[in-house]
Amino acid sequence: MNRNILFIAFMLFMYIANAQNGKQKIDGVAVVVGKNIVLDSDIEKFKLELEQKTEGKIKITDCEMLEEIMKQKLLAHHAVIDSVPVNSEAIESEVTRKIDYLAGQLGDAQKVAEYYGFDDEADLRKELFEIQKEQTLIQGKESAIVENLDVTPEEVNNFYQNLVNEDAVPEFGTEIEMAQVVVYVQTPVEEETRIITKLKQYKKEVEEGASFRTKAILYSQDPAVTQQPVYTITKESPFVKEFKEVAFSLEEGEISDPFKTVFGYHIIQVAKIRGQELDVMHILLQPKISNEQLQKTGELLEGIRADVLAGKTTFDEAVKEYSEDKETKNSGGIIINPSTNGTYFELSRLVDAELYKRISNLQKGEISEPFFERTRTGENMFKIILIKDRIEPHKATLSKDYIKIQELTLARKREETINKWVEEKIEDTYINVSDKFKGCEFKSNWVNK
Least confident of 43-47, 140-144, 353-357: 43-47
C-alpha span between 373 and 360 (Å, rounded)? 17
The pLDDT tens digits for 359-397 are 999 999 999 999 998 876 667 899 999 999 999 999 999
Q: Which residue has the higher pLDDT, 150 or 15?
A: 150
DSSP 8-state secondary structure symbol assigned to residue 166: T
| pLDDT for residue 152 is more than 90 | yes
The pLDDT tens digits for 226-252 are 777 888 888 888 788 899 999 999 999
Question: Do 289 and 187 touch, CB atoms closer than 8 A?
Answer: yes
**Would you say the CATH fold of 189-285 matches that of 3-168+397-437?**
no
Q: Mean pLDDT, to the nearest integer, of 122-151?
A: 91
Is domain 173-186+290-395 annotated with CATH 3.10.50.40? yes
Residue 48 — pLDDT band, cuts 50, 70, 90? confident
Q: Global pTM?
A: 0.58
Residue 27 confidence (pLDDT):
64
Residue 313 — pLDDT band, cuts 50, 70, 90? very high
Percent over 90 (pLDDT), the chain: 58
Residue 131 confidence (pLDDT):
87
Residue 449 — pLDDT band, cuts 50, 70, 90? low
Q: Mean pLDDT, to the nearest integer, of 16-24?
A: 44
C-alpha span between 378 and 287 (Å, rounded)? 9
Cα dist from 253 to 25, 211, 268, 378, whole Å: 38, 12, 10, 29
> What is the average pLDDT score of the chain?
87
Residue 430 confidence (pLDDT):
94
C-alpha span between 73 and 42 (Å, rounded)? 13
CATH number for domain 189-285, candidates 3.90.1530, 3.30.379, 3.10.50, 1.10.10: 3.10.50
Close Cβ partners of 398 (under 8 Å, ≥ 6 residues apart): 156, 157, 160, 405
The pLDDT tens digits for 60-85 are 889 999 999 999 999 999 999 999 99
C-alpha span between 21 and 116 (Å, rounded)? 10
| pLDDT for residue 409 is more than 50 | yes
Q: Mean pLDDT, to the nearest integer, of 256-272?
A: 93
Q: Locate the domains of the chain by residue range.
A: 3-168+397-437, 173-186+290-395, 189-285
Report H helices in 148-269.
153-165, 189-207, 212-219, 241-247
CATH number for domain 3-168+397-437, candidates 1.10.4030.10, 3.40.50.11240, 3.30.465.10, 1.10.357.10: 1.10.4030.10
Question: Do 33 and 74 touch, CB atoms closer than 8 A?
Answer: yes
